């Protein structure tokens, strides 16, 4: 049968009219200072940079660049807050403040969702249904732990560490902020947090929330800036703990920088997750899982299922269905409620992704992209799959952090496992089969921190998250996430 003529038609015909989310209810200041000691202040050297909307390349706001002097001020404010009210406060009172943050986030969810999509390029459907509700859920979850730490660590006394320096990435700005701040506060620490330079706005909005919620000044400090600001936080002698989410390269340099300093640290780094589809899986639902695994958030997901392994007898079927499904994905205005794939976060990231597309083709892989039209302005990348690749291809080995999937086939469970584990990363993985015994065998065999069975990219505050090998050190989320923010005494 000729598969070329026998093709489903998704172009033309009935189309969805634009359904943009309103921006009337949001307010973004023209210029933001640094949030230190409970108020917005000018940066010491007066420098500002511009945060842009990656879907339109239009400027959104000017944001201060924090230098070493600002980091000094912020760490001092955090130390003062820690010594003063925060660590001495009754734990149940601390919990109340965190609950308050969670409730305000929930109440202002629409506003946060729109700003997250404007600043980062992610579709409003995701920021509205996933990022913001999950961020609020993390605050709710850890608020509950604040006065129950003695049950989290029975027989031991859980003491706060002091000041936590936290550096977060641009792919889930508010959610990563919640992952960092919520457990730190619950355990009684004060924080100095730096959002990524391309996505600072929701963190600055959280600064407003922190102020409005009446948290003691200095408990939460937000410093904007680029890599130098992050380095100044990491290297500050009065910081007791570093929590970093980002690239493996930066994670490695952080580990070097703080070696011997006694600082406690958690690093959540890159990934190149294997998504393994067996012939006996529910194939149509597995195809959804592949799409969700790699095209969620434009593939800007450290646990993205970027390596697909399909059992060979269903290889052609899965690829055909995947290609048809890709044709139904809508790329465009992140604020449109029907958009499936938004803008690539920055020009630099788009360049990096396009470089990998070039490498993939040059290495002889077959590239397929969906035919969806993309806007003229802004940074866009169509959903892409590479077939005809092997473990030796760079697009299989290296983290691309974009909507790019490398597809290989396998024959036996052993071959699938070997290939899945043949990577320096180990953050996540997925297994798709109708057979329970195979789920247990495969999920025990894949060396990664999170493994999903018959689903992908599911997150919950109660579930720990973190990597093996070059994917990181330590766990965030759940009971394990508390451990990173306490010292235990008998």
Partner 1 sequence: MTLAAVPSKTPVPDLERVARVDEVGVNERVARFQSRSIKTESKIEALKLVLAMIDLTTLEGQDTPGKVRQLCQKAMHLHDRMPGLPHVAAICVYPTMVAIAKKALGQSGIKVASVATAFPSGMAPRSIKLEETRMAVAEGADEIDMVISRGAFLQGELGFVFDEIAAIKEACGAAHLKVILETGELGTLDRVRRASWLAMHAGADFIKTSTGKIQPAATMPVTLVMLQAIREYWYNKGRMVGMKPAGGIANSKLALHYLVMLRETLGNAWMTPEWFRFGASSLANDVLMQLQKQATGVYQSADYFSKD
Q: How far is the CB of 191 from partner 1 (least distance, A)?
A: 35
- 6, 22, 30, 256: which one binds partner 1 (CB under 8 A): 6
Classify the phi-psi angles of 371: left when phi > 0, otherwise alpha if psi is within -120 to 50, otherwise beta: alpha
Nearer to partner 1 (CB atom), residue 433 or residue 471: 433
For position 10 contacting partner 1 by CB under 8 A, the verdict is yes
Helix or strand holding residue 309 (H, E): strand 307-311
Stretch that binds partner 1, among 15-23, 26-34, 197-205, 361-369 (CB under 8 A): 15-23
Rounded CA Rg of the chain: 23
**End-to-end Cα separation, the chain, in angstroms:** 72
For position 17 contacting partner 1 by CB under 8 A, the verdict is yes
For position 16 contacting partner 1 by CB under 8 A, the verdict is yes
Give 46: exposed, middle or buried? Use CB within 10 Å, 0-12, 13-18, 19+: exposed
Q: Which of residues 441-470 bind partner 1 (CB under 8 A)?
A: 454-455
Helix or strand holding residue 78 (H, E): helix 68-81
> 384 with 357: CB under 8 angstroms?
yes
- 281, 322, 442, 450: which one binds partner 1 (CB under 8 A): 281
Nearer to partner 1 (CB atom), residue 129 or residue 150: 129
One symbol per residue from 69 to 108: x for binding partner 1 (CB under 8 A), - otherwise; what is it?
----------------------------------------
Q: How far is the CB of 16 from partner 1 (least distance, A)?
A: 5
Nearer to partner 1 (CB atom), residue 28 or residue 282: 282
* Cα gap 160→250, rounded to integer Å: 26
> How many amino acids of this chain bind partner 1 (CB under 8 A)?
34
Stretch that binds partner 1, among 2-10, 49-57, 372-380, 408-416 (CB under 8 A): 2-10
CA–CA distances in Å: residue 415 to residues 119, 276, 310, 335, 388: 42, 11, 11, 43, 17
For position 363 contacting partner 1 by CB under 8 A, the verdict is no
For position 8 contacting partner 1 by CB under 8 A, the verdict is yes
Q: Which residue has the tokens 């850890």?
A: 142
DSSP 332: S
> 98 with 146: CB under 8 angstroms?
yes
Q: How far is the CB of 21 from partner 1 (least distance, A)?
A: 9
Q: Catalytic: which of 302, 303, 372, 381?
A: 302
CA–CA distances in Å: residue 111 to residues 21, 28, 40, 53, 114: 10, 10, 20, 16, 5
For position 285 contacting partner 1 by CB under 8 A, the verdict is yes
Q: How many CB atoms lie within 10 A of CB 14?
A: 4
Q: How many CB atoms lie within 10 A of CB 262?
A: 6
For position 284 contacting partner 1 by CB under 8 A, the verdict is yes
Measured at the CA of 37, the angle between CA 31 and CA 38, to 5 degrees, comes to 65
User: Which residues face 428 on adjacent strands?
Assistant: 450
Q: Catalytic: which of 197, 268, 399, 476?
A: 268
Helix or strand holding residue 290 (H, E): helix 283-295
β-pairing verdict for 384-387 and 404-410: parallel
- 4, 13, 237, 262: which one binds partner 1 (CB under 8 A): 13
* Cα gap 452→286, rounded to integer Å: 12
For position 18 contacting partner 1 by CB under 8 A, the verdict is yes
Q: How far is the CB of 11 from partner 1 (least distance, A)?
A: 8
Nearer to partner 1 (CB atom), residue 168 or residue 281: 281
- 434, 440, 444, 488: which one binds partner 1 (CB under 8 A): 434
- 38, 183, 289, 378: which one binds partner 1 (CB under 8 A): 289
> 219 with 211: CB under 8 angstroms?
no
User: Which residues face 3 on adjacent strands?
Assistant: none
Q: Which of residues 325-344 bind partner 1 (CB under 8 A)?
A: 328, 337-338
For position 22 contacting partner 1 by CB under 8 A, the verdict is no
For position 129 contacting partner 1 by CB under 8 A, the verdict is yes
* Cα gap 91→78, rounded to integer Å: 18
Q: How far is the CB of 103 from partner 1 (least distance, A)?
A: 25
Stretch that binds partner 1, among 4-12, 101-109, 110-118, 200-208 (CB under 8 A): 4-12
Residue 268 a catalytic site member: yes
Q: How far is the CB of 324 from partner 1 (least distance, A)?
A: 8
Helix or strand holding residue 39 (H, E): strand 39-41
For partner 1, the binding residues (CB under 8 A) are 1, 6, 8-19, 125, 129, 280-286, 288-289, 317, 320, 324, 328, 337-338, 434, 454-455
Which positions are catalytic? 268, 302
């Amino acid at each position: 049968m000729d598969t070329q003529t026998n093709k489903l038609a998704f172009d033309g015909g009935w189309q969805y009219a634009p359904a943009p989310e309103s921006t009337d209810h949001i307010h973004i200041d023209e210029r933001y200072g640094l949030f230190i000691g409970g108020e917005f202040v000018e940066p010491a050297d007066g420098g500002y940079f511009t945060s842009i909307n990656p879907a339109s390349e239009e400027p959104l706001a000017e944001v201060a660049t924090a230098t070493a002097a600002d980091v000094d001020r912020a760490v001092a404010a955090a130390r003062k807050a820690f010594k003063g009210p925060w660590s001495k406060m009754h734990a149940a009172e601390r919990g109340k403040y965190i609950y308050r943050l969670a409730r305000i986030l929930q109440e202002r969810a629409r506003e946060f969702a729109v700003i997250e999509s404007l600043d980062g390029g992610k579709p409003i459907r995701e920021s509205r249904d996933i990022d913001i509700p999950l961020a609020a859920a993390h605050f709710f979850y850890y608020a509950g732990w604040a006065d129950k730490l003695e049950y989290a660590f029975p027989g031991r006394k859980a003491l706060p560490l002091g000041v936590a320096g936290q550096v977060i990435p641009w792919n889930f700005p508010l959610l990563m902020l919640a992952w960092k701040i919520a457990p730190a506060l619950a355990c009684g620490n004060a924080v100095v947090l730096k959002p990524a330079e391309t996505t600072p706005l929701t963190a600055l909005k959280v600064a407003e929330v922190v102020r409005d919620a009446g948290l003691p000044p200095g408990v939460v400090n937000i410093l904007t800036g680029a890599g130098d600001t992050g380095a100044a936080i990491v290297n500050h002698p009065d910081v007791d703990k570093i929590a970093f989410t980002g690239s493996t390269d930066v994670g490695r340099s952080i580990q070097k920088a703080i070696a011997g300093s006694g600082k406690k640290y958690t690093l959540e780094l890159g990934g190149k997750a294997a998504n393994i589809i067996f012939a006996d899986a529910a194939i149509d639902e597995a195809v959804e899982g592949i799409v969700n695994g790699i095209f969620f958030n434009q593939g800007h997901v450290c646990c993205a299922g970027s390596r697909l392994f399909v059992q060979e007898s269903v290889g052609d079927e899965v690829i055909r269905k995947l290609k048809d499904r890709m044709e139904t994905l809508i790329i465009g205005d992140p604020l449109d409620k029907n958009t499936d794939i938004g803008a690539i976060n920055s020009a630099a990231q788009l360049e990096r992704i396009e470089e990998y597309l070039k490498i993939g083709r040059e290495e002889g892989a077959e590239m397929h992209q969906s035919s969806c039209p993309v806007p003229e302005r802004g940074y866009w990348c169509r959903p892409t799959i590479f077939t005809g690749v092997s473990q030796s291809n760079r697009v299989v080995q290296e983290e691309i952090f974009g909507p790019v999937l490398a597809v290989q086939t396998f024959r036996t469970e052993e071959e699938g496992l070997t290939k899945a584990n043949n990577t320096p990363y180990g953050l996540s993985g997925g297994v798709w089969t109708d057979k329970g015994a195979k789920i247990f065998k495969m999920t025990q065999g894949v060396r990664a921190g999170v493994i999903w069975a018959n689903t992908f990219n599911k997150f919950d505050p109660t579930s720990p998250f973190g990597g093996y090998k070059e994917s990181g050190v330590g766990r965030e989320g759940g009971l394990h996430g508390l451990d990173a923010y306490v010292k235990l005494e008998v």
